[in-house]
């Protein structure tokens, strides 16, 4: 499944971040170095997570890949081409509920397809297919206000996937859900990914989540964010919940926890901007 670890013949990965830095200007006129010369890569159809303490800049890194924010220096390359603006090739799922509440579930999922001028019948077919895939068949005409948090995130996932992006970016997508729903969503995500492999860059602060889901994990330091460690997850796929009791899993969890603990201690007294 994770055949993306091998770079393409020209040394290029699906997603390449080279020496990314981010500098913010604060309201008081000073500057903050949020991300410091960070480099990482994601292979084709690889599932990679970024884990780190709050405020370390992991969401910023993701937003740079999405093109929502410009790096102060460094480059973001998708298939070798630089990324500067948002686009449908990099779909994103956010943590907060970002469904368009004036549209039905089906219209939400069709949103990206409509932008591509796809005919209505084709849009509907694709929307219904993804709705079924996330287990919400029958909810086509519901409005977001009628859905629970987990259901909304499933629609958000379907909406992003239906648009067939080259890369799927996920910013703590399950962070606002309760623990049980979160686990179900993780399993759903893996199931979808097995069925239709995609390149995924996943940001989370939940160590277990990152190990359960990923092929590789980047551990970020506290601000200014740097890559502290790059850790391969050798657990076999497909992964079930049993994997969480596997000794290898537990060992990885311990290792990453220790790496992050020191960083978290640095991070807890940092004031947000």
Partner 1 sequence: MSRVTDETRPAIIYPVQRREGWLSYLNPQEAIPRPIYLAAMVTTVALLLVLWAALTYGGVVNQLFLPSPTAVVDALVKMVGDGSLWGHMRASLLVIVVGWALAVVVAVPLGIVMGSFRLFEAILEPLVNFVRYLPVSALIPLLILYIGIDVRERIAVIFIGTFFQLVLLVADVAAHVPHDLLDSAYTLGAKRRHALTHVLIPATLPGVMDNLRITIGWAWTYLVVAELVAAEQGLGYLILDSMRGLFVARIFVGLLTIGLLGFATDQIFKWLHRKLLPWSPRIA
Short-list 155, 132, 128, 126, CA closest to 143: 155
Complex with partner 1: residue 87 or 238, whichever CB lies closer: 87
DSSP assignment of 59-119: HHHHHHHHTSS--SEEEEEETTEE--S--TTEEEE-SS----TTS-HHHHHHHHHHHTT--
Query: Applying CB under 8 A, does 141 fall inside the site for partner 1?
Result: no
Residue 112 binds to partner 1 (criterion: CB under 8 A)? yes
Asked if 101 interacts with partner 1 (CB under 8 A), we say yes
String of contacts with partner 1 for each residue 230-259, x by CB under 8 A: ------------------------------
169 counts as binding partner 1 under rule CB under 8 A? yes
201 near partner 1, judged by CB under 8 A: no
Per-residue x/- track, 35-74, partner 1 (CB under 8 A): -------------------------------xxx------
Nearer to partner 1, 99 or 252 (CB): 99
d(CA 13, CA 125): 33
Member of 33, 77, 88, 183 binding partner 1 (CB under 8 A): 88
CA separation, residue 9 to residues 4, 13, 29, 64, 234 (Å): 12, 9, 46, 26, 24
Helix axes 149-162, 120-133, angle to 10 degrees: 130
Residue 22 Cβ vs partner 1, minimum distance, rounded to whole Å: 17
Q: Specify which residues 18 forms β-bridges with.
A: 75
Complex with partner 1: residue 22 or 252, whichever CB lies closer: 22
**DSSP 3-state of 167:** strand
**Least distance to partner 1, CB of residue 230, Å:** 26
DSSP for 120-145, please give it: HHHHHHHHHHHHHHTT-TT-TT--GG
Tell me how many residues contact partner 1 (CB under 8 A). 30
Residue 111, interface with partner 1 (CB under 8 A)? yes
Give CA torsion, residues 131, 137, 138, 140, to 10 deg.
Answer: 0
> Where on the chain is the footprint of partner 1 (CB under 8 A)?
66-68, 86-88, 90-92, 94, 96, 98, 100-104, 111-112, 115-116, 143-145, 156, 159-160, 163, 165, 169
């Amino acid at each position: 499944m994770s055949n993306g670890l091998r770079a393409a013949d020209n040394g290029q990965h699906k997603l390449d971040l080279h020496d990314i830095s981010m500098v913010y200007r604060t309201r008081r006129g000073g500057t903050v170095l949020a991300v410091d010369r960070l480099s990482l890569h994601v292979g084709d159809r690889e599932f990679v997570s970024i884990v780190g303490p709050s405020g370390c800049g992991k969401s910023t890194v993701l937003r740079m890949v999405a093109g929502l924010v410009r790096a102060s220096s460094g480059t973001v390359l998708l298939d070798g081409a630089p990324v500067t603006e948002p686009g449908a090739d990099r779909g994103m799922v956010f943590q907060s509920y970002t469904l368009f509440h004036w549209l039905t579930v089906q219209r939400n999922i069709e949103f990206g397809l409509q932008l591509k001028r796809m005919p209505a019948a084709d849009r509907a077919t694709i929307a219904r297919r993804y709705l079924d895939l996330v287990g919400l068949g029958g909810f086509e005409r519901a409005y977001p206000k009628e859905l629970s948090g987990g259901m909304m995130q499933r629609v958000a996932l379907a909406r992003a996937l239906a648009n067939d992006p080259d890369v799927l970016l996920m910013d703590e997508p399950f962070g606002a859900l309760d623990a049980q729903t979160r686990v179900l969503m993780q399993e759903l995500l893996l199931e979808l990914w097995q069925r239709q492999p995609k390149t995924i860059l996943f940001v989370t602060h939940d160590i277990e989540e990152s190990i359960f889901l990923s092929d590789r994990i980047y551990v970020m330091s506290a601000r200014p964010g740097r890559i502290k460690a790059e850790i391969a997850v050798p657990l076999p796929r497909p992964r079930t919940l049993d994997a969480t009791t596997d000794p290898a899993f537990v060992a990885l969890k311990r290792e990453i926890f220790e790496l992050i603990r020191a960083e978290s201690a640095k991070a807890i007294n940092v004031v947000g901007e």
